[in-house]
A and B are shown apart, each in its own frame.
Chain A
Amino acid sequence: MTSTRTTPIRPGAFRLTTPPISGVLRPRTLAVCVALAAATFAVFCVSLTLGDYPVSLPDVLRALAGSDEPGPAFVVRELRLPRALTGLLVGAAFAVSGAIFQTITRNPLASPDMIGINAGATTAVVGGIVLGTGAGLSSSTLGVLGALATALLIYLLAWRRGASGYRIILIGIGIAWMCTSATDYLLTRAKLHEAQEAFGWLVGSINGRGWETVLPLAVAVGVLLPATLLLTLWSRTLSLGDDVARGLGTPVQRARFGLLIAGVGLVAFATAAAGPVLFVALAAPQVAQRLAGQATPPPVTSALTGAFMVLASDLLARYLIPDADLPVGVVTGALGAAFLLWLLARANRAGTGG
């Protein structure tokens, strides 16, 4: 009965026999990805021109391509490139991890911000700053450890004959509350200058990041992003609900565990590099999903959207208030809120009731 002939149910569907891969090519998603990549690259280059030492756009491009002109090459490659790369990678990492969490919990409001993983990292870092035990460990190491420990705790507590997405969210909210309270407590015990330092980290910033920040982040994203893309084969069925996914032959618990590991790893390293940049993980997958016209947040489009959001916010912050060193988290929070309100107004007009 099995027919070897491909019967395309929709334009763009394909199936290969060796290797056995089937799927759908979506021209719209592809076009959106290309457009986003172009926009991100443009913002990336423009952000490299900004600073005390003016470098023109052609000079930036030449420096990136590897020219040896001493002035621009040094400024661009050593001073500005790490910051821009941090923004790019952090945005992508947060967005992909948001997409993962939203897919496996099937809840558009689930993001690492909401379910306590960022809160855990924050508590660890603020604890390091305030209690002074961070001397041996850098903020980024503490951030990674905090995020991983919190995620493990949430997963273990949510485990009861398997971990359901809904229970992960609820337990995450409880843990997030406790971590936030612990952070509040540490802030009240701190000296004012320590509190200022800690609060600056809390908002999320890519100011003054160097190559030592970029390298671990780049390695983490380089490993985890392809892993996520492989696991996405499963996440699509997971988004149909546990029962349907099991019926379609997906190993539900293993798939969820793998995706969670990838999502948590991305968030941990991104938070360690830039602090909990507000709202990117929540909003970027939702924007990407709407741009690409899909039913679940698509990972690649999300990554590009996130990278664009962070870089554009950073650029905006530096244009609006040039000498303030405004942290990028302030801008992403404000922009994200505006976006959510717009989404709300649009849903109202369409009559879908939000």
Chain B
Amino acid sequence: MRTATADAETVTGSSGSPQRRALTAPARTALVITVAAILLGLCVLSLAAGSKAVPLDDVYRAVFDRAAARVANPQVDAIVWGVRLPRTICAVLVGSALGLAGALMQGLTRNPLADPGLLGVSAGASFAIVVAVAGLGVSSATGYVWFAFAGAFAAAVAVHLLGSLGHGGATPVKIALAGIALTFLLGSCTSAIVLRHPQALDRFRFWSAGSLTGADPGLLWRMSPFLAAGVLLAIAAGPALNSLALGDDTAIALGRRLGTIRIQAVLAITLLAGTAVAIAGPIVFIGLVVPHVTRMITGPDHRWLLPVTALLAPCLLLFADIVGRVVTRPEEVQAGIVVAFLGGPFFIALVRRQRVAEL
């Protein structure tokens, strides 16, 4: 029994990339530290860059010696603490959540094209926002975030229920089809409402571009328990997803309960992607691209794939956000748009190298 498990893990560690040996433990640790350092560097850059550039030593003083810096330079304090710090934290949280959700979705469906939006969260959130603005007259961003969250959650639950109808439970193919169907249905309803309510269109077009500007500290604080629960569930699902990668039958033979794994993964994806989409809009492309990049570095072992993705995905989002702030100063390009233009060419290059099919 013991050897069987060990064998299975060896196979998982090297399956899918025959030409690439799995990294050794010290190399992996070094990798995690490197990525974390890059993330930290980007965070600092994100505090400094923007329509008004703040020198790095001012940033340092404003963060670590706030009382003195506030008196010396109140403007910098307002920019760093009031605007850029919440925004940076928001980017890190949203990026991690979307990356993890994407890696889980790809592991669960064993499909390299799965993105976190496949469970219908983006469509559900869009629909809820449009209903909130057009039907209930909600007009503040903090007001409709909760609607978006509820919409994303309801859509994901509906997709899972529809996908698990009948014979065989919630198989990946059925979940994907149910997700696409619900996305189309909700998309139609959203269009129908938006076409008749200019007010709703006005809110909707900015939200759907995907932006981090609406981040407010209180909101992030209230959303964090959901994210934390999602992250814990996701990281805990790693070993089980490794077994699942060997096929349903092998996973069962290794003693895994398919139903439990799937429910755990779907719950984690819903929490992570639902919260992230509610805060920042549908930037699900991050969840599609980053796990592929990570897989090229760490190999397909989910115990490493998931944490490294959670560190790498916020790097992409932060970088995109910084670029979006700087490129058309003093105006801004929404992070979601920059992500697509940075991630899109990368994804295409990846496809041309024929590495995506390895999952």
Residues of chain A whose beta carbon lies under 8 Å from any beta carbon of chain B: 109, 157-158, 160, 166-167, 170-171, 173-175, 177-178, 180-182, 184-185, 187-188, 190, 192, 195-196, 199-200, 202-203, 278-279, 324, 326-327, 329-331, 333-334, 336-338, 340-341, 343-345, 347-349, 351, 353-354
Contact = CB atoms under 8 A, between A and B. Distances in A.
A203 B357 CA distance: 33
B279 interface: no
B258 interface: no
Contacts of B196: 324
A126 to B, nearest CB: 11
13 contacts: A178-B340, A178-B341, A182-B337, A184-B205, A184-B334, A330-B191, A330-B192, A333-B188, A337-B182, A344-B163, A344-B178, A353-B167, A353-B168
B209 A188 contact: yes
B280 to A, nearest CB: 13
Given A203-B195, A353-B173, A341 B340 contact: no
Interface of B: 113, 162-163, 165-168, 171, 173-174, 177-178, 180-182, 184-185, 187-189, 191-192, 194-196, 198, 201-202, 205-206, 208-210, 285, 333-334, 336-337, 339-341, 343-345, 347-348, 351-352, 354, 356-357
B167 A351 contact: yes
A171 B341 CA distance: 14
Given A196-B195, A203-B191, A337-B181, 5 more contacts: A167-B354, A171-B351, A174-B347, A333-B191, A354-B173
Contact of A185 (B191, B201, B209, B348): B209
B188 A354 contact: no
Contact of B184 (A182, A185, A340): A340
A326 B162 contact: no
Nearest to B193: A330
A200 B195 contact: yes
Which 7 A-B pairs give the minimum distances between C-beta atoms?
A: A348-B166, A333-B188, A181-B340, A337-B185, A354-B174, A340-B181, A178-B344
B206 A333 contact: no
B206 A188 contact: yes
Contacts of A341: 162, 178, 181-182, 185
A102 B166 CA distance: 27
Contacts of B209: 181, 184-185, 187-188
A340 B195 contact: no
Contact of B194 (A177, A199, A338): A199
A185 B333 contact: yes
A185 B181 contact: no
B352 A157 contact: yes
A195 B205 CA distance: 8
Contacts of B344: 174-175, 177-178, 181
A157 B348 contact: yes
A351 B192 CA distance: 36
A7 B300 CA distance: 54
